[in-house]
Structure 1
Amino acid sequence: MTSSSSSTNPVSHAATSFPSNPLTRNSPNQSRTDTVCPHCNHPIKEIKYSGDAFHASLQKLFPGAIRLEEFIFETKQTLVPKGFYPHVNTLVCVGLCRDEITSPFEAEVEAMWGQAFICGSLGGMLFCGKTGFSAAHRHAPITGHFIYYCFTHIAIDHEGIVGSVYRTRSGMEEKTTACGALAAFAAEIASNKLNFNFDEDDIEMSMLKKHIINKTSLSTDAMNAPDLFKVTMAAYETITFDLERHVRRDAGNFKDRRYALFTGIQIHGPGGSDYCWLGKASLLVNGVLSPLVLSTHVSLLPSIGSTIMPQ
Structure 2
Amino acid sequence: MTSFDPHSTKLPANASADSNGACPHCHQTMKKSATSNDGFQTTLDKLFPNAYGLEEFVFETKQTLVPKGFYPHVNTLVCVGLCRDEITSPFEEEIEAMWGQAFICGSLGGMLFCGETGFAAAHHHAPSNGFFVYYCFTHIAIDHEGNVGAVYRTRSGMNEKTTACGALAAFTSEIASNKLNLTFNEDDIEMSMLKKHIVKKTNLSTDPAKAPNLFEVTMAAYETITMDLERHVKHDAEKFKDRQYALFTGVQIHGPNGTDYCWLGKASLLIKGELSPLVLSANPTSQVQTGSTTKSH
2:37–2:256 Cα contact (<8 Å) kept: no
Alignment-derived partner of residue 209 in structure 2? 223
Structure 1 CA distance for aligned equivalents of residues 52 and 131 of structure 2: 26
1:117 is the counterpart of 2:124: no
Query: Aligned AA for 2:213?
Result: D
1:260 is the counterpart of 2:242: no
2:141–2:254 Cα contact (<8 Å) kept: yes
Alignment-derived partner of residue 161 in structure 1? 147
Runs of 4+ in 1 over 6 A off after TM superposition: none
1:64 is the counterpart of 2:50: yes
Alignment-derived partner of residue 83 in structure 2? 97
Alignment-derived partner of residue 14 in structure 1? none
2:37–2:144 Cα contact (<8 Å) kept: no
Structure 2 CA distance for aligned equivalents of residues 271 and 257 of structure 1: 41
Q: What root-mean-square deviation, in Å, do the aligned CA atoms of Structure 1 and Structure 2 show?
A: 1.2
Query: Aligned AA for 2:46?
Result: K
Alignment-derived partner of residue 273 in structure 1? 259
Alignment-derived partner of residue 12 in structure 2? none
Structure 2 CA distance for aligned equivalents of residues 108 and 68 of structure 1: 7
1:154 aligned counterpart, secondary structure:
strand
Query: Aligned AA for 1:277?
Result: W
Q: Can you list the C-alpha shifts for 1:223-267, whole angstroms capped at 9, x where unaligned?
A: 000000000000000000000000000000001100000000000
Larger radius of gyration: 2
1:171 is the counterpart of 2:171: no
Alignment-derived partner of residue 208 in structure 1? 194
2:148–2:215 Cα contact (<8 Å) kept: yes
Runs of at least 5 residues in structure 2 that lack an aligned partner in the other structure = 1-35, 285-297
**Using a 3 Å threshold, how does the CA distance of structure 1 residues 51 and 199 change in structure 2: closer, same or farther?**
closer
Query: Aligned AA for 1:280?
Result: K
1:220 aligned counterpart, secondary structure:
coil
2:37–2:145 Cα contact (<8 Å) kept: no
Structure 1 CA distance for aligned equivalents of residues 37 and 198 of structure 2: 36
- 1:64 is displaced (CA, Å) by 0.5
- 1:174 is displaced (CA, Å) by 0.1
Structure 2 CA distance for aligned equivalents of residues 168 and 159 of structure 1: 17
Higher relative CO (Cα under 8 Å, sequence separation at least 6) belongs to 1
Alignment-derived partner of residue 122 in structure 2? 136
- 1:297 is displaced (CA, Å) by 3.0
Q: How many residues align?
A: 250
1:293 aligned counterpart, secondary structure:
coil
Percent sequence identity over aligned pairs: 80
Query: Aligned AA for 2:176?
Result: A
Alignment-derived partner of residue 107 in structure 1? 93
1:148 is the counterpart of 2:134: yes
Structure 2 CA distance for aligned equivalents of residues 82 and 271 of structure 1: 37
Alignment-derived partner of residue 233 in structure 1? 219
Give the structure-2-normalised TM-score: 0.83
Alignment-derived partner of residue 173 in structure 2? 187
Query: Aligned AA for 2:110?
Result: G
**Which structure shows the higher strand fraction?**
1
Structure 1 CA distance for aligned equivalents of residues 258 and 131 of structure 2: 32
- 1:51 is displaced (CA, Å) by 7.2
